[in-house]
Amino acid sequence: MSVAANIAEGSAKRSDREFARFIRIALGSATESENHLILASDLGLLEAAEYESLEKQTQDVQKMLTGLEKRLSGDANTVRATKGRAARSMKH
């Protein structure tokens, strides 16, 4: 729930940079969930097949969040670089 809540909260922010910050927080929550799965497995609360399925899904979510965070951060850098070039070209 925490992963989805952070994505939802971040999506309402005004900039990609702010949204990326919440995606990083969501990634931390996904990592925390992964830790809970390991603990549940170690305590015998999950069967091996169930643990493996949930672990794979968690890793998939982490990969998607990492890709989104990189895209948001990259887009923000591209926009800043473009604005900087435009401002410099206007001076000449």
* Euclidean distance between CA atoms 41 and 87, whole angstroms: 56
Domains of the chain: 2-91 (1.20.1440.60)
What pLDDT tens digit does each residue of the chain (92 aa) get? 999 999 999 999 999 999 999 999 999 999 999 999 999 999 999 999 999 999 999 999 999 999 999 999 985 554 444 344 344 433 43
- Residue 63 has, within 13 A of its CA and on its CB side, a CA count of 6
Distances (CA, A) of 28 to 7, 37, 38, 42, 74: 12, 14, 15, 21, 20
* Euclidean distance between CA atoms 84 and 26, whole angstroms: 31
